[in-house]
Amino acid sequence: MVGRSSLPEGSLFLGFDSSTQSLKATVLNNELIVVASEIVNFDSELAHYKTQGGVYRDPSDDGHIFSPTIMWVEAFELLLEKLKPKISFSKVVAVSGSGQQHGSVYWKKGSHAVLSSLDPSKTLVSQLKDAFSTMDSPIWMDSSTTKQCREIENAVGGALELSKLTGSRAYERYTGPQIRKIYQTAPHVYEDTERISLVSSFMASILVGNYASIDETDGAGMNLMDINQRTWSKTALEATAPGLEEKLGKLAPAYAVAGRISPYFVERLQFEKNCLVIQWSGDNPNSLAGLTLNTPGDLAISLGTSDTVFGITTEAKPSLEGHVFPNPVEPDGYMVMLCYKNGSLTREDVRNRCAEKSWDVFNGYLEKTPPLNDGKLGFYYRDHEILPPLPVGFHRYTVENFNDATSNNLVEREVEEFDPPSEVRAIVEGQLLSMRGHAERFGMPNPPKRIIATGGASSNERILHSIAQIFGCPVFTVQRPDSASLGAALRAAHGWLCNEEGSFVPISCMYKGNLEKTSLGAKLAVAAGEGVEDKELLQKYTVLMRKRMEIEKRLVEKIGRAQAHGLLDFSSSSLSSCSPPRNLARALLFAGDLLRSNCGDLLRSQLLHYHLSAAKELSRAQVDCVATAATHNVNAYGQKEEGLTRRGRKVCISPPSRTQQLKDPKQKKPAVSASYHFENPVPEKESKLMKENMDEIYKKSARERVRGSIVQTESSVTSSTYSSGSSLSYSSSESEDKKQKHKRKQKKRRHQRDNSTSSTSFASDSASHTDSNGKCGRKMSLKNWKNTMWMPNMMFLLLSWSSWRHKSHLFAQRNDIIGELMPRRGEDVGARGIYQFCLDLMSLASSISLDRRLTALLQVCEWQPW
């Protein structure tokens, strides 16, 4: 009979887990008992990469989170070296592994030749450091691809259609949207890529010295695979990027053999040359295997960097929430999963703030606070959350009269903060109530027969006790919390057995009837309460869970990242009728409306992208104008700055003269009519006062610009040049002759510009223009600055407003707007005067209510020529 006894005597099976913060290894012997394990922590042991939690966070692109690809290679080498004194690699007959799901690696053209001919005398890092078309690997924590998600969903007929096709609607962390973003924003990287691997297939490729296939289970986390046919979906591929199928290679079952181990490891570490490398898969599928989760009705909760809830089913029923993957150890079955980004790192954040950075204190607070937390509910999002789709922020509510209330009359009240013990219980109960609510909505068993807990926090008895109370079922734990690497080692043995038999064999035959004699057995940690009080407590948790789901729904509708609630309508016909400069101004106004609205990210992303795209019907030069607006003069008509002259000095376009406007009606000052309705309009007196304060801010900022000589000018008409400093340095003691001479020169230059047929003639100076009344000097420079800097003014008004919002939940929208308006990433937008303007603006706002500062913002914007 095929089973554990079929495994070679004395053989070893090696399993890896390439997770977010570390790389782990677990070794099983032929009795399926753990004989060795090892770990490499990225932050501490590879500190030269300067990662935090194993990742980098891009400050210029909110939500963009990635890891250095080469760090994983170096960690792999280090882990093997640490394992060398513990085991004999020559006894390892099969290797498999787990990789954080959705992360991707981009092999450069020509890298296959390098991979297949690795020199055993050299390190992997030295040979693979130049093998990638980009050194940054997007990972599951990334949330910067909302635009690409919506594009892919629309291309296949909507979110639900994509879910039915691939097992999930489009999620920002999924590999398909990540690939599309690279294709759109870095086409040279995409073009230079010959193979795209997931983290799992990337590590397998190193082991076999060849490009390993993506396995079907991990491939389902890409929005690219047909979940029923288990092949790449042509429709999804075409919606993502051209020529993608060739770059992805073929799919393979999770139990298949990826190849024999590379000669590199045979010679360098003395692996047996016939050692098999079994397909690597994702971390959650491997955890399912390691937990021996094979009974419908059981659930697993993984408490790690991300928190996940998963189970098994025999039928795929994708929906708009949750994920469906092929079961990695049962070809005809499926795995269902919910994923939460804010897991252990968010719990640690609360521990550090409220529990003296001590888990003992944290657990003490959990023990001293009563279940239900006296009706205190907390929503804690250190990062943009996946489920529910909410941005960064913290929200706290107290449910009043909870002890004697029913589900029909509960009333919640939002509060600013909880006391530390209540905050600790609120984070734990809040996360678990969310898991239960979404699991029931997704169709998972209610209540489960049992829950198997894994991950780092599964060793916390107080958290396990809360799980049992909230779900109303017994909670089990496994001997080792690192179920992903344990599952990978078990899958290595299973893959070897399937290869030996020549066909698939059920994985359960390896441990059935003998589970407790292996390292795979689960033990009861917390029993389900059977008493009357326990049942009453479960009923109250059910009521509290429903109230939480109600509040959550309102939060998603108000500030959610994936809800569509219409607010302001600029039709395409009305927009297309505008001239390009007017389009751009109108798009900025529209952006202001979106920012102050309560609509969700889906609408905000779609409409903002549409209107900004329409605005970009401008010429390339005019789009460049947007990119440089924050550091250079841009006039109210969208005319571009010419950048640096051959002498290295900045030259700016002057505003079109009256003559030019008559010759070319398109250059007339565009008037955009936009109406705004506020629930609490600012009284006229207060509005006037606020305008005066804002005027003072403008003056201060303008003076800062003058002192810093930010604007330098060069005359293209005469041989005379004026610096911005000298053109503003006229004193009251100047002679009348000099003033009159200066006015005559100005008049002559204006006459030359007025008769010029080109709309792009250079300005002879930008800071000493005179107005129609002949005024000049500092006062005129202020007016000219306000008229010519409308673009950065608006951008920074939007920036400042988003910074005023509660905590930071609109930082994502802020950066989305800047990303759209400023295509050239990393360009300096911190001109000292503008920066000071923002600081002053935010200082002024500190004592003004939200509605009133928004009203003031738009009233200030009425100064601008659009």
Distances (CA, A) of 179 to 144, 226, 276, 774: 12, 17, 30, 58
Residue 567 has pLDDT above 70, yes or no: no
Residue 596 has pLDDT above 50, yes or no: no
* Residue keyed to tokens 């489920």: 387
Instruction: Read off the pLDDT of residues 539-552 as tens digits, 9 standing for 90 and up.
Output: 999 999 999 999 99
Q: Rounded to an integer, what distance in angstroms lies between the CA atom of residue 16 and that of residue 639?
A: 58
Q: Rounded to an integer, what distance in angstroms lies between the CA atom of residue 337 and that of residue 319?
A: 12
Q: Rounded to an integer, what distance in angstroms lies between the CA atom of residue 629 and that of residue 636?
A: 11
Q: Rounded to an integer, what distance in angstroms lies between the CA atom of residue 396 and that of residue 417?
A: 7
pLDDT at position 515 is: 87
Q: Which residue has the higher pLDDT, 780 or 841?
A: 841
In 383-433, where do the E strands start and end?
393-400, 411-415
Instruction: Read off the pLDDT of residues 613-634 as tens digits, 9 standing for 90 and up.
Output: 444 344 444 434 444 443 333 3
For CA atoms 851, 856, 862, 866, the dihedral sign is negative
Instruction: Read off the pLDDT of residues 287-323 as tens digits, 9 standing for 90 and up.
Output: 999 999 988 889 999 998 899 999 999 888 898 889 9
Minimum mean pLDDT among 355-364, 473-482, 834-843: which range?
834-843
pLDDT at position 494 is: 96
Closest CA to 456 of 21, 14, 3: 21
Residue 655 has pLDDT above 90, yes or no: no
- C-beta neighbour count of 166 within 10 angstroms: 29
Q: How many CA atoms lie within 13 A of 62 on its CB side?
A: 19
Q: Rounded to an integer, what distance in angstroms lies between the CA atom of residue 541 and that of residue 534?
A: 10
**Confidence bin at 2 (pLDDT 50/70/90):** low
Tokens describing residue 49: 């990469």
Instruction: Read off the pLDDT of residues 522-537 as tens digits, 9 standing for 90 and up.
Output: 999 999 988 899 999 9
For CA atoms 842, 847, 850, 852, the dihedral sign is negative
- Is the entire prediction scored with pTM above 0.85? no
Minimum mean pLDDT among 52-61, 120-129, 632-641, 678-687: which range?
632-641
Instruction: Read off the pLDDT of residues 75-131 as tens digits, 9 standing for 90 and up.
Output: 999 999 999 999 999 999 999 999 999 999 999 999 999 999 999 999 999 999 999
Where b means 16+ CB within 10 Å and e means fewer, 592-604 reads: bbbbbbebbbbbb
Q: Rounded to an integer, what distance in angstroms lies between the CA atom of residue 73 and that of residue 203?
A: 8
Distances (CA, A) of 427 to 302, 308, 453, 557: 16, 16, 18, 22
Q: What is the mean pLDDT of the chain?
A: 75
CATH number for the segment(s) 12-290: 3.30.420.40
Closest CA to 404 of 432, 425, 375, 426: 375
Backbone angles phi, psi at 757, to 5 degrees: -85, -10
Residue 704 has pLDDT above 80, yes or no: no
CATH 3.30.420.40 domain locations along the chain: 12-290, 340-459+527-562
How is residue 372 annotated by DSSP? G
Residue 464 has pLDDT above 90, yes or no: yes
pLDDT at position 443 is: 87
Where b means 16+ CB within 10 Å and e means fewer, 465-479 reads: bbbbbbbbbbbbbbe
Answer left, alpha or beta for residue 729, where phi above 0 means left and psi between -120 and 50 means alpha: alpha
The residue length of the chain stands at 866
Q: CA-CA-CA-CA torsion for 71, 276, 498, 11, nearest 10 degrees? A: -100
* Residue keyed to tokens 């990242």: 561
3-state DSSP assignment of residue 214? strand
What H or E segment, with its residue span, contains residue 104?
strand 104-108
Mean pLDDT of 828-833: 38
Q: Rounded to an integer, what distance in angstroms lies between the CA atom of residue 29 and that of residue 11?
A: 6
Q: What is the DSSP string of 319-345?
A: -SSSEEEE-TT-TT-EEEEEEES-SHH
Instruction: Read off the pLDDT of residues 234-283 as tens digits, 9 standing for 90 and up.
Output: 999 999 999 999 999 999 999 999 999 999 999 999 999 999 999 999 99
CATH number for the segment(s) 340-459+527-562: 3.30.420.40
How is residue 279 annotated by DSSP? -
Q: How many CA atoms lie within 13 A of 699 on its CB side?
A: 8
Which residues have a Cβ under 8 Å from the Cβ of 91 and sit 6 or more positions away?
10, 11, 12, 272
